Amino acid sequence: MCGIAGYIGEKKRIKFLLNLLKKEEYRGYDSCGIAVRREKGIFVKKNKGKITHLEEKMSEFDFSLGIAHTRWATHGFPNQINAHPQFDCKRKIFLVHNGIIENYSRLKDFLTQRGHHFISHTDTEVIPHLIEELGKREPLPKALIEVVNKLEGSFAFAFIREGEGALFLAKKGSPLNIGVLNQGFIFASDIPAMVPFTNRIVRLEDEQIAIVGKDDLKIFDFAGKEVIHKTEIVDLAPGEITKKNYAHFMLKEIFEQPRVMRNLFKFYVNDNRIEFKGLNLREDFLRRLKKIFLFACGTAFHAGYVIKYFLEKFCCLDVSIDVSSEARYRELNLTADDLVIAISQSGETADTLAAVRKAKEKGAYILAVCNVLGSTLVKESSGLLYTLAGPEIGVASTKAYTAQLFTLYLFALHLGLLRNTLQRKVFESILQELKNIPRFQEEILKRVEEIKKIAEKFSKFGCFLFLGRGINYPSSLEGALKLKEISYIPAEGYPAGEMKHGPIALIDEYRAVVCICLQDALYEKMVSNLQEIKARKGKILSILNYGDKEAVALSDEVIYLPRLKNSVLSPLVVAIPLQLFAYFVAENLGCEIDQPRNLAKSVTVE
């Protein structure tokens, strides 16, 4: 899950290419590199670490054709040798790649027997050597067709070759898009990365190659047949992918949530009626539905887990939720009468795609809950619930999480009404409260300084437990994940009722416990969990409702939330203080918040 980018056209300063690459650095940032054509030939520069470090080591110069890469290492340590571009024996073909070549060791043996010498530990290096080998007997476009049909796995790659005035691109399984400039072309893994430069985009489909000249673009399928391509105008404002006045994308995206919720309500609700244009599902199928399977990873999995509780309660359905990396290998009893809901911000998460493909083989209907139109998941699903959160750049997901929740709450309300398992007055009460959620979120965001102070106090703790019950058990999982991801402090989310069965052994005066203890049916149960922790001197930060009398007395610090009439919606407000808490603990520890170590924004490899 690297980022690749490139340009062809009139002379430009190298800064242009580096700025384009920086726009997708969230895809991987352990090493990077460029290969560009200059007067004296192709100039290559690679580096361990961030693009800024590479930039510091280079002077400014002009170029007219070039490729670039920012890496998330899968094969071979992050170092200068394994950084991309990789090249052939004669250093004439320079290539950048995102994805995994699964048959690379067989190809490496085949090429080594033909005298090729490999210098890196990457899977990628086989591609330029294969182009070199097959290029001995075929001119380039033909040789490239042969190469892509020999590669197994997922790939999006681009290369330039000494003496050729064009970019060569190929896509299968990993994202790759082309941007049309007034003069020339750019390409990148992600469309938002190109928006500051152009909104005219050509999406490369799977099993396609593109040959991009200074003034023309030709696309072929993997059989070599030319494909007519269309240029679409993408509706993304460049401002959507800048930090504006925020210190980090994550903080900006936390503060964008009320606006995202309002947009979702406007988009899907009309006059108290919920309408899903992309659902593409027959009502009778939904009425007789017996079981829903939810597949997702990471934060998206937590959103699915919250909705499982809501669907069971208001739609009288059997709901199973699985992390996709397990679901893809489990013997799931799926039939054509079942609905699979696949949740993914990026729509490119390899495990979720694999679980979906397995479910499709069994005839299940796939509904994607996704934030990226045109992503692989959206293309491979039968229906779509678009989460409209806008580009999410911070690796730690925030606004996409609450957007997934909000959209799925609306879907479950729609389903409950359709199946007559939800009374109209309950439907309207919950719908009305969903409309007020942005206001509640804004209220909490106003108290950011208060949460910052609490987080600074707690950032000295070396281990955290997050506890919740019922629909806020998944909220505790999400709170723990946010803290782990950006502060690297070990943290675990746990159903509070499980404490006595083991984790309570962890509690002493050096342990911090974040308890979600709202005025709902499980309040008293949560209070007794707080008492158990207090009795063992654990330090407690509680998330409570205004006016709380009992839990407040047991807590060392409290973050108050407005009380909702429908507590089933509380995960939408609980998320905000948990996100801010993690953010300020990480900030206090000086962590790299937008690009945490070892992570990447979308996990496109298994």
By CB under 6 A, is residue 349 in contact with ligand AGP?
yes
By CB under 6 A, is residue 604 in contact with ligand AGP?
no
By CB under 6 A, is residue 603 in contact with ligand AGP?
yes
Q: Is 316 a catalytic residue?
A: no
Cβ distance to ligand AGP smaller for residue 375 or 567? 375
By CB under 6 A, is residue 595 in contact with ligand AGP?
no
Cross-strand pairs, 493: 466
Task: Indicate the residue whose CB is closest to ligand AGP.
Answer: 298
Question: How many C-beta neighbours within 10 Å does residue 327 have?
Answer: 26
Question: How many C-beta neighbours within 10 Å does residue 183 have?
Answer: 10
By CB under 6 A, is residue 344 in contact with ligand AGP?
yes
By CB under 6 A, is residue 345 in contact with ligand AGP?
yes
Single out the catalytic residue among 50, 171, 399, 601: 601
Pairing of β 217-221 and β 339-344 = unpaired
Angle separating helix axes 126-134 and 104-113, nearest 10 degrees: 50
Q: Sheet with 491-495: list strands edge to edge.
A: 491-495, 464-468, 512-516, 539-545, 557-561
Cβ distance to ligand AGP smaller for residue 201 or 396? 396
By CB under 6 A, is residue 396 in contact with ligand AGP?
yes
Pairing of β 365-370 and β 383-386 = parallel
Task: Report the residue from 346, 441, 472, 604 that binds ligand AGP according to the rule CB under 6 A.
Answer: 346
By CB under 6 A, is residue 602 in contact with ligand AGP?
yes
The contact pattern for ligand AGP, residues 283-312, with x = CB under 6 A and - = no contact, is --------------xxxx------------
CB of 578 to ligand AGP, least distance (A): 12
Contact indicator for 186, 20 with CB cutoff of 8 Å: yes
Identify which range of 81-89, 340-348, 526-534, 568-576 contacts ligand AGP by CB under 6 A: 340-348
Interface with ligand AGP in residues 473-502 (CB under 6 A):
485
CB of 187 to ligand AGP, least distance (A): 21
Total number of residues shown for the chain: 606
Cross-strand pairs, 158: 96, 169
By CB under 6 A, is residue 381 in contact with ligand AGP?
no
Contact indicator for 529, 511 with CB cutoff of 8 Å: no
Task: Report the residue from 397, 475, 529, 570 that binds ligand AGP according to the rule CB under 6 A.
Answer: 397
Cβ distance to ligand AGP smaller for residue 274 or 306? 306
* Pairwise CA distance, residues 471 & 468, whole Å: 8
CB of 488 to ligand AGP, least distance (A): 14
Pairing of β 273-274 and β 232-233 = unpaired
CB of 311 to ligand AGP, least distance (A): 19
Cross-strand pairs, 291: 318
By CB under 6 A, is residue 385 in contact with ligand AGP?
no
Tokens read off for 573:
């407000």
Q: Is 399 a catalytic residue?
A: no
Tokens read off for 435:
């409309």
Interface size with ligand AGP, residues (CB under 6 A): 15
Q: For 75-175, where are the E strands, in sequence order?
A: 86-87, 93-101, 153-161, 167-172
By CB under 6 A, is residue 352 in contact with ligand AGP?
yes
By CB under 6 A, is residue 514 in contact with ligand AGP?
no
Cβ distance to ligand AGP smaller for residue 37 or 482? 482
State the virtual CA torsion across 465, 469, 470, 476 in degrees, nearest 10: -20
* Pairwise CA distance, residues 503 & 237, whole Å: 47
CB of 376 to ligand AGP, least distance (A): 11
Helix, strand and coil content of the chain, in percent to the nearest 5, comes to: 40, 25, 35
* Pairwise CA distance, residues 558 & 122, whole Å: 50
Cβ distance to ligand AGP smaller for residue 99 or 298? 298
By CB under 6 A, is residue 518 in contact with ligand AGP?
no
Residues that bind ligand AGP (CB under 6 A): 297-300, 344-346, 349, 352, 395-397, 485, 602-603
Active site amino acids: 2, 601
